[in-house]
Structure 1
Amino acid sequence: MGLNANDRSIAGFTMAGHALVHWFETSIPIFLVVWLSEFDVGVALFGIVVALGYAPFGLGALPGGILADRYGTRPIVLACLGGMSLAFLVLAVANSIYAIAVGLICWGIAASVYHPAGLALISTGVEERGTVFAWHGIAGNAGIALGPFVAATLLIFLDWSLVAALLAVPGVIAVLYGLSAEFDPTAAVEDGADAGPDEALSPSELVGDSRTLFASAFAVVFVLVTFEGLYYRGTLTYLPEILHGLPAMDSLALPASLEGIEPADYIYVGLLVVGMAGQYAGGKLTDRVPPARGLIAIFAVLAVLALAFVPATAAGVGLGPLVALCGLLGFFLFAIQPFYQNAVAIYTPPDARGLSYGYTYLGEFGLGSASIAVGGYVLGDLSQTAFFALIAGFAVVGGLLAGVLLTGSGRFADAEATAETNADD
């Protein structure tokens, strides 16, 4: 069945938002290379500055979810798009490391509210939820791949400050589109269910709503998503560095005109592009496969793929098997996302959807980032084998938690069905 007009409108709005969040996010490391030569400061200090920008991206997800429940999802997504664009305009006029820090922090705060608001909008406004989750994920992957590509290409010809300003232009266009888009943000919620803007939550109400969420199956989903985040962030952070050091990369010769470009970077970008297919396949399957079953299967595959990198990165292994393995990793690493996004929608009530996705992305991007520190220690002080075993372990725990959801189906009732039952009593 095709998407209706309301589904298409929400899909277009949220796809633009998701693509632009990652468009800005992945362009920042490209600017870092330029800033290090532009400003006379050390790598360590600039690393702290960039970390200050990325930190709110995960930590602000929970407040973003609360704001989405309070003010509605459309205004929060629009504020995100406008805020990110303004932050890059601040970067465009920055003439010191301190001004850059201000711009990056503003970007992180603005970007942090997108995921809980955008996903809450899809979960309450879209009938064909799985399909839109798929296209939404594909748009995010497009932003992940295009952000650094466009930034790096423009920096060949233009000054970095002008490039920062140009990157803000799509965000301004998206705001204008969002202001004119027409859709019902609660079209997929059953009559009588409260899913629109609500009164501001008092601290006691916030604590009460959170306790209600974590006394349900959402507690399992939250921990499961955290372990998926540990796998995701650890893998994508260190895989480029691991690929760069492999002898197999020497067999991928590049033309003289591309001297200075690492062949491993092409493989890494290819992994992200294949992830678009994974997002689409995963989203379509959520309409046919219960989320717990899908999560078990994909976590199992991810565990096997992580362990497969141990022999694949050994000396003497050819380029072909390594590229194929990276392609499979990209597919399943992103195919899992629509399943846990749908699980949140299933195991939470509509009126707490923003709060639910806020906690979800606190786990995904906030707690999940711990694997950067842990993975760095394991790679530096132990070995690549230990690193991939650690990554596989994250997937194994995630699969076991998905099994808890599946075997506890009698105790973990669908929140929407529970709300119906309570309304009938």
Structure 2
Amino acid sequence: MNSNDRSIVGLVTVAHAMVHTYELSIPVLIPIWLAEFSVIDLGVTQFPVNAATLGALVTVGFALFGLGAIPSGVLVDRLDARLLITVCLLGMGGSFLVLAVSPTPVVIGLAMALWGVAASVYHPTGLSLISRGVEQRGSAFAYHGMAGNVGIAVGPLVTILLLIAFDWRVVVALLAIPAAAAALFAFRADIDERAAVTATDGGDDGDGRADGVSSLGEFLSQSKVLFAGAFAIVFVVTLCSGLYYRGVLTFLPELLRDVPSLAPIQIGSETYEPGDYVYVGLLMVGVLGQFVAGKLTDRGRPEYGILAGFGALAVIGVLFLPVAGLGLAGLLGIAALLGFFLFFVQPFYQASVAEYTPPGARGLSYGFTYLGVFGIGALGASIAGAILTYFSAGTLFVVLAGLATVAAGLGAYLVTRVPSTATAT
């Protein structure tokens, strides 16, 4: 990588780690909220606090995380990515300060909504920055994904450790502090955001900036062009990925607490939940999945990775509970496979978006991508909560396996019926 590549990768890795640090600390807090609150009071009506209602509440924030990706994707085609990332980091830190003083589940939902709006800025911005500014795109996607996984794992781990010593409100207030430092780093970064476009793609307006979307008509016309091609298939893949991702991770800490081989351990006056640490370990394994997949995207068509990765997730969905029931060794093994392949698929669909879209619409295309992953995908939390409340964990994993099967089938279609733009003439 050249110096500009390294500078951009440094910026996006820090920001990506921060986004997922906040995102995946939330599931660790859900068991605490289930125990602390009994009623969601909306004024005109009340609801009991259970997996279904709390899942619906946090879905608001997770949905905005994805829904905001569309306007963010439009903005990044016209504004400096560095500025947008700085705003994103400051907004996430502020939302966690609101969460720290939340007296009721309704205010918790408001804080999560604020977090979702701020966090929604990142993925279209960061991924567009990589695709237009970094020449070694596949490796950059790998490092970017690995940094996200570090945040995904470190966020819950730090949250768990802090909860040993502090009340959850103090913990989330402390978690807001790193956002300020990361925002300062982003604001001071010195990068050429369009270096790879100028070098390889062309199509800028003479000052290194793509035309982007400047009106509703342009938004509709560019969107129509995107969805008229193979990008529409990649979009459905990302939607399935988001539903699987959110559906399995939101309540996994709670599910692991019910596994007999992970019974609570009492040490002195403190009670430790081994399931929480298994959850963190699963997320850490995802770092390896991201790294392997990112390197593979530089060596071949990403569509093969979509087929293989989601095929594996389908099998894991069917086998997770039966294998976990065999004992601790089986649980650790299947959890490691889930962590690996859950994040293995991400660099492949990210790279596929770049393959099937023009550089001038790259921000918009990643906006739609993360509308699917985190916006529509946020429904995975509500779906999982409802299934766990009214059916069973076994039913949830069968549904997840079905989603992965659909995505694998679409990957097979891309491999056999749609030529990659990397190899098409």
Identify the TM-score tier after normalising by the shorter chain.
0.7 to 0.9
Residue 331 (1) aligns with residue 340 (2)? yes
SS in 2 for 1:260: strand
> Which TM-score applies when normalising by structure 1?
0.87
- Tell me if the contact between 2:234 and 2:352 (Cα under 8 Å) persists in the aligned partners: yes
Match of 2:136 in 1: 128
What is the number of equivalent residue pairs in this alignment? 410
Residue 300 (1) aligns with residue 300 (2)? no
Match of 2:202 in 1: 192
For residues 39-89 of structure 1, what are the alpha-carbon distances to aligned partners after superposition, in whole Å with 9 as ceiling and x for unaligned? 895463876654443331121111111111121322211110121123233
Match of 2:156 in 1: 148
The percentage of counterpart residues that share the same residue type is 49
Query: For the structure 1 residues 247 and 86, does the alpha-carbon distance in structure 2 shift closer, same or farther, using more than 3 Å as the test?
Result: closer
Query: For the structure 1 residues 234 and 160, does the alpha-carbon distance in structure 2 shift closer, same or farther, using more than 3 Å as the test?
Result: closer
Match of 1:230 in 2: 243
Q: How does 1:322-361 map to 2 (within 5 A)?
A: 322-361=331-370
- Tell me if the contact between 1:71 and 1:198 (Cα under 8 Å) persists in the aligned partners: no
Q: How does 1:201-212 map to 2 (within 5 A)?
A: 201-212=214-225
For residues 142-178 of structure 1, what are the alpha-carbon distances to aligned partners after superposition, in whole Å with 9 as ceiling and x for unaligned? 2122223323433444465554443222111112111
SS in 2 for 1:71: coil
Which blocks of at least 5 consecutive residues in structure 2 are unaligned?
Answer: 41-47
Residue 11 (1) aligns with residue 12 (2)? no
Query: For the structure 1 residues 402 and 80, does the alpha-carbon distance in structure 2 shift closer, same or farther, using more than 3 Å as the test?
Result: same
Q: CA deviation at 1:104?
A: 3.2
Match of 2:93 in 1: 85
Which blocks of at least 5 consecutive residues in structure 1 are unaligned?
Answer: none
Residue 61 (1) aligns with residue 74 (2)? no
Whole-Å separation in 2 of the counterparts to 1:380 and 1:103: 25
For residues 331-389 of structure 1, what are the alpha-carbon distances to aligned partners after superposition, in whole Å with 9 as ceiling and x for unaligned? 11111111111001111111111111111111111222333343444445444444332
Query: For the structure 1 residues 217 and 207, does the alpha-carbon distance in structure 2 shift closer, same or farther, using more than 3 Å as the test?
Result: same
Query: For the structure 1 residues 52 and 375, does the alpha-carbon distance in structure 2 shift closer, same or farther, using more than 3 Å as the test?
Result: closer
Query: For the structure 1 residues 40 and 55, does the alpha-carbon distance in structure 2 shift closer, same or farther, using more than 3 Å as the test?
Result: same
Aligned equivalent of 2:302, options 291, 295, 300 = 291
Whole-Å separation in 2 of the counterparts to 1:310 and 1:169: 38
Aligned equivalent of 1:280, options 280, 288, 291 = 291
- Tell me if the contact between 2:9 and 2:143 (Cα under 8 Å) persists in the aligned partners: yes
Match of 2:410 in 1: 401
Query: For the structure 1 residues 224 and 146, does the alpha-carbon distance in structure 2 shift closer, same or farther, using more than 3 Å as the test?
Result: same
Whole-Å separation in 2 of the counterparts to 1:371 and 1:28: 15
Whole-Å separation in 2 of the counterparts to 1:187 and 1:180: 18
Whole-Å separation in 1 of the counterparts to 2:30 and 2:394: 30
Query: For the structure 1 residues 179 and 371, does the alpha-carbon distance in structure 2 shift closer, same or farther, using more than 3 Å as the test?
Result: closer
Q: AA paired with 2:375?
A: G
Whole-Å separation in 2 of the counterparts to 1:119 and 1:272: 21
Q: CA deviation at 1:241?
A: 3.5
Query: For the structure 1 residues 243 and 48, does the alpha-carbon distance in structure 2 shift closer, same or farther, using more than 3 Å as the test?
Result: closer
Residue 366 (1) aligns with residue 375 (2)? yes
Query: For the structure 1 residues 389 and 36, does the alpha-carbon distance in structure 2 shift closer, same or farther, using more than 3 Å as the test?
Result: closer
SS in 2 for 1:138: helix
